[in-house]
Amino acid sequence: MSAHTLYDKVWQQHVVKQYDDGTSLLYIDRHLVQEVSSPQAFAGLVAEDRKLVRPAAHIAVADHAVPTRLRHLPLPDGLASRQVARLQENCARFGVHYVGMNDNRHGIVHVIGPELGFTLPGATLVCGDSHTSTHGAFGAIAFGIGASECECVFATQTLRQKRQRTMRVTLNGALQPGVAVKDIILALIARIGTNGGVGHAIEYAGPAVATLSMEARMTLCNMSIEAGSRVGMIAPDATTIAYVRGRKLAPKPEQQAAAEAYWLSLASDADAVFDREVELDVSALVPHVSWGTNPGETAPVSSRIPDPALEADPARRAKMERSLHYMALQPGMRLDEIAIDKVFIGSCTNGRIEDLRLAAEVVAGRHVAPSVSGIVVPGSASVRLQAEAEGLDRVFIDAGFEWRDAGCSMCVAMNDDRLQPGERCASTSNRNFEGRQGQGGRTHLMSPAMAAAAAVSGHLVDVRSLKAAS
């Protein structure tokens, strides 16, 4: 039998049928539903008088539009409250389980799926959200889909898909203190480009991946889409199994042994062939920050902003010039001299408990710079409760941060957490697109520790220099 990759193994287990045009009908095990991409999908079912075939395959939660403060009050009348209410109505109508805004299981879809054990190794999982790649950290084929595809999953439990090519990213070496998995993914995107992974399912492998916690693995897979890949995966191992075991929706005790044995068999065979291989030695890596308006426009924090005049490709040059204009930055400027106004710690990339611990470690005993205001938004209620049990909320509040309820918040600025035009933010989210954190806002992406360091310094800074100084 020929050798197979992790992606191939999970894929083959889900092919309902192969069409003769090279596409396959892929069975979808699980679907996470949120308020932004689902109204039109539910409306499609109604218009065509179609059934939602397997309600127990879906979980719904409102995360994008919800406020992160005063949650006990009814939502103010307006578009957001209508959108959240619509999700709730649709779920009631079609029998889909809905996690309420004040439920202890509430949170960003990509944080609560794994927490609940809804996300499982070897599954196919989709969501009308591009960061669904997060769940690949468990060895699931998980990918973002549009609203029409959400409707297709509701109605058929399948999607017609073409098998992706495969790309293995081997991470060698070990991270230095103060350098985070966020720096790995930013450096990788800077290297292969924001479309470097298009058409490929990425598998992250190698010694540096084996030592990562599930939280860190999720950060890595989360930003695969920023490299152009819908799918990012990591083979299930003992770390994966330990995380899943005992979760609310994990396999029942009598199924556990069989499930775990199967999950461990999913690893890519030693002689499996990938369509593309990339290697990165992470031991030499330093903290990175983005300077432009896509995640590929990223550089070591100790470096200078590149000069568009040196870019040969005219479209790329135009893009760089536009980025610098939008960001109000000059070529040649040192990145660690850029002053900031706001700090956002949160999102499905870096809103998990470990992220908050790393940020809290930096701010403990320090204070947010006078010119800066910062918010910490846990990725889920369960992350918030855990952080509060550890006293992290006090650390942040004492340092001058605001401590909020869970949601997407200033990652996407669909609620009232947003930058004002011209404001500059150190952010642990995943996208620095124009206007992403609020119309006219300027985003610098970085790790939680780096965002915390920027908050207390008032400007972008290498978190390692801060540690040495204290």
Cα 350 from chain centroid (whole Å): 7
221 binds other proteins (CB under 8 A): no
Q: Please, what is the minimum distance in Å from the beta carbon of residue 127 to ligand SF4?
A: 9
Tell me which amino acid residue 334 is.
R
Q: Does 157 bind other proteins (CB under 8 A)?
A: yes
Tell me: does residue 369 bind ligand SF4 (CB under 6 A): no
* Tokens linked to 161: 């898909």
**Residue 348: contacted member of ligand SF4, other proteins, none (CB under 5 to 8 Å, by partner type):** ligand SF4
> Is 40 exposed, middle or buried (CB count within 10 Å of its CB: 0-12, 13-18, 19+)?
middle
Q: Does 66 bind ligand SF4 (CB under 6 A)?
A: no
Give the residue from 298, 277, 64, 276 showing the smallest Cα distance to 182: 298
278 binds, among other proteins, ligand SF4, none (CB under 5 to 8 A by kind): none
| Among positions 276, 322, 394, 467, the unique one binding other proteins when judged by CB under 8 A | 322
Instruction: Copy the structure tokens of residue 307.
Output: 């000069």
**DSSP letters of 48-102?**
HT---S-GGGEEEE--SS--SS-TTSPPPSSHHHHHHHHHHHHHHHHT-EEE-TT
Smallest separation (angstroms) from other proteins to the CB of 299: 16
x/- string (CB under 8 A) for other proteins, residues 279-298?
--------------xx-x--
Piece in contact with other proteins (CB under 8 A), picked from 180-188, 280-288, 314-322, 455-463: 314-322
DSSP assignment of 92-137: HHHT-EEE-TTSTT-B-HHHHHHHHT-S-TT-EEEESSGGGGGGGG
* Contacting residues for 312 by C-beta, under 8 A, at least 6 apart: none
Contact set for other proteins, span 377-406 (CB under 8 A): none
The answer to whether residue 82 forms part of the interface with other proteins (CB under 8 A) is yes
Output 63 or 151, the one with its CB closest to ligand SF4.
63
CB proximity list for 446: less than 8 A, separation 6 or greater = 182, 186, 287, 288, 289, 290, 301, 426, 427, 428, 454, 460
One-letter-per-residue 3-state SS of 409-436: HHHCCCCCCCCCCCCEEEECCCCCCCCC
Nearer to ligand SF4 by Cβ, of 268 and 298: the residue is 298
Nearer to ligand SF4, 62 or 184 (CB): 62
Residues in the chain: 470
Least separation in angstroms between residue 202's CB and other proteins is 12
431 near other proteins (CB under 8 A):
yes
In the complex with other proteins, the residue whose CB is nearer, 6 or 99, is 99
Cα–Cα distance measured from residue 50 to residue 150, given in angstroms and rounded to the nearest whole number: 13
The C-alpha atoms of residue 434 and residue 441 are separated, in whole angstroms, by 7
Q: Closer CB to other proteins, residue 31 or residue 288?
A: 31
Name the CA radius of gyration of the chain, rounded.
Answer: 22
Q: Which does 241 bind (CB under 5 to 8 A by kind): other proteins, ligand SF4, none?
A: none
Given 8, 63, 151, 336, the residue binding other proteins (CB under 8 A): 151
When CB distances are held under 5 to 8 angstroms depending on the partner's kind, the choice from other proteins, ligand SF4, none that residue 88 binds is: other proteins
| CA proximity to 62, closest of 94, 91, 93, 30 | 91
Tell which one of 314, 370, 389, 468 touches other proteins (CB under 8 A): 314
Binding partner at 347 among other proteins, ligand SF4, none, C-beta below 5 to 8 Å by kind: ligand SF4
Tell me: does residue 417 bind other proteins (CB under 8 A). no
Q: Which of residues 102-161 bind ligand SF4 (CB under 6 A)?
A: 108, 110, 129, 131
**Is 129 near other proteins (CB under 8 A)?**
yes
Tokens for 103, please give them. Answer: 């439920």
Helix ranges restricted to H, 230-297:
238-244, 253-264
From residue 287, alpha-carbon distances to 186, 347, 388 in Å are: 9, 19, 28
276 binds other proteins (CB under 8 A): no
Q: Which is nearer to other proteins, 130 or 166 (CB)?
A: 130
Q: Tell whether residue 293 is a contact of ligand SF4 (CB under 6 A).
A: no
What binding mask, one character per residue, do residues 36-75 give for other proteins by CB under 8 A, x or -? xx-xx---x---x-x----xxx-x----xx----------
* Span 346-365, contacts to ligand SF4 by CB under 6 A: 347-348
Which residue of 14, 64, 217, 404 would you call a contact of ligand SF4, by CB under 6 A? 64
Q: Could you say which of 436, 442, 444, 459 contacts other proteins (CB under 8 A)?
A: 436
Nearest in space to 376 (alpha carbons), one of 289, 448, 467, 430: 448
Picked from other proteins, ligand SF4, none, the partner binding residue 428 (CB below 5 to 8 A depending on kind) is: none
| Residue 107 engages other proteins in binding (rule: CB under 8 A) | no
Among positive and negative, which fits the CA dihedral 156, 125, 228, 201? negative
Structural contact between residues 392 and 310, judged by C-beta atoms closer than 8 angstroms:
no
Using CB under 6 A, list all residues that contact ligand SF4: 63-64, 108, 110, 129, 131, 347-348, 408, 411-412, 429-430
